[in-house]
Amino acid sequence: MKLRSLLLASLLSLSQTALANPLLEQLRLTQGYHIAVVAEAANARQMALGSPGTLFVGSRRAGQVYRLKDVNGDGIYEQQEILLQGLNMPSGIAWRNGDLYIAAVDRILKVANADSVKTESIQVQLVTDQLPDITHHGWKYLKFGPNGDLYFNLGAPCNICRSEDPRFASIMKLNLDSGQQNIVARGIRNSVGFSWHPLTEELWFTDNGRDHLGDDQPDDELNRLTQPGQHFGFPFVHAGDIPDPQLYQGQPFSEFQPPMLKLGAHVAPLGLTFYTGEQFPDSDKNTLFIAEHGSWNRSSKVGYRVIRVDTSVTPATQTVFIEGWLNGQSAWGRPVDIITDRDGSLLISDDRAGLIYRVSSRVKYRAGNKD
């Protein structure tokens, strides 16, 4: 509560400057980069760019979907509205052609003309309610794929189990015209972030490994889908080469897709974005940024940072891009989602601090900057 009070007490006027925040001084960035707070949104989770100047933000515990507005084009979202509230973990959101799609555990909803509709006039449309109502790993990540289908995750309804419903522990897609759902990738315990490589259009995604096998195993994963229907191991094999002590059935490890990168146990990788801008001199379309939400049940905390991954090499390699949300064994923030903004900067959501950050390679926001 003290940290939260400090965060809120440090806010300056949004109309002329970025949000000044003394806790930003704890963040350590790659040299030449700057970070600023540009909005606040309680329990901020997945983000989606709307039309220029509009940013949508989902939440999990808060049950709300936010519409943020940058009215004067300075990159700071000085207006915030609660677009929807009272939903069941509306973490996943996606925007297309002016409409906002929201995933709320057992259903996907749509708000038409979401950029401009008045909040008192909103009519929520049901896209589908043909989804499981299990809340364990039930929060979703939502994105439109290159083929126009709407993709989402269905996490395992447990720490470790084998479900009779084949949709669990998968990534799925929904054709909005026909309503047909299909499993795209299997054996994925809990992916809360995926993106398509801008050059190959292959799907890359994070996966959170099972708990209660100790502090150091299994690794959380960064994976790549090269063929529809591939199986990534859960619940039989973890991180490519760790047989589950309860459910492994003796299959050859080669039956399952190994991770492209082992990220470390319990770091909790969530949202990710391929860099498609031109502002960062040391990043290109093979560069992937991943938010590590951080561990909750490890004896010594890990994660709570943003990493940069070079996908042009095999195996992929990672370096730390931002860290400092973890101070000793106390975390004041937890990064969740990352998107590349139109100007080539990165936007990062933080559900613990309830903030949206902008990372730039040049000094753009004079107040609240941290090199």
- Tell me: the pLDDT tens digits for 165-217? 999 999 999 999 999 999 999 999 999 999 999 999 999 999 999 999 999 99
Amino acid at 342: R
Q: What's the mean pLDDT when you consider all of the chain?
A: 93
What pLDDT band is residue 18 in, cutting at 50, 70 and 90?
Answer: low
Q: Is residue 369 part of a domain?
A: no
Mean pLDDT of 242-261: 98
For residue 274, how far is the Cα from the chain centroid? 12
> Is a pLDDT exceeding 90 seen at residue 340?
yes
What pLDDT band is residue 335 in, cutting at 50, 70 and 90?
Answer: very high
Q: Is residue 371 part of a domain?
A: no
Q: Is residue 20 part of a domain?
A: yes
Q: If DSSP codes are grouped into helix, strand and coil, which group holds residue 307?
A: strand
What sections of 204-330 are H helices per DSSP?
A: none
What is the structure's pLDDT at 8? 39
What is the structure's pLDDT at 367? 38
Its domain, for residue 92, covers 2-360
Q: How far apart are CA 205 and CA 221, in angstroms?
A: 8
> Is a pLDDT exceeding 90 seen at residue 21?
no
Q: Is residue 64 part of a domain?
A: yes
> Is a pLDDT exceeding 70 seen at residue 224?
yes
CATH number at 34 reads 2.120.10.30
> Is a pLDDT exceeding 80 seen at residue 7?
no
User: What is this structure's pTM?
Assistant: 0.93
Q: Is residue 123 part of a domain?
A: yes
What is the structure's pLDDT at 371? 56
Q: Which residues contact 244 (CB under 8 A, 6 or more apart)?
A: 160, 210, 235, 236, 237, 238
* Tokens 């126009």 -> residue: 148
What is the structure's pLDDT at 125? 98
Mean pLDDT of 71-96: 97
Distances (CA, A) of 203 to 259, 273, 274, 283: 13, 11, 11, 19
Amino acid at 325: W
Domain count, the chain: 1
Phi/psi of residue 9, nearest 5 degrees: -70, -20
Q: Is residue 326 part of a domain?
A: yes
Element (DSSP H or E) covering residue 346? strand 346-350
187 contacts 265 by C-beta, under 8 angstroms: no
Q: Is residue 140 part of a domain?
A: yes
59-76 pLDDT, tens digit each: 999 999 999 999 999 999
Q: Is residue 367 part of a domain?
A: no
- Of 129-133, 272-276, 310-314, 360-364, where does mean pLDDT reach its minimum? 360-364
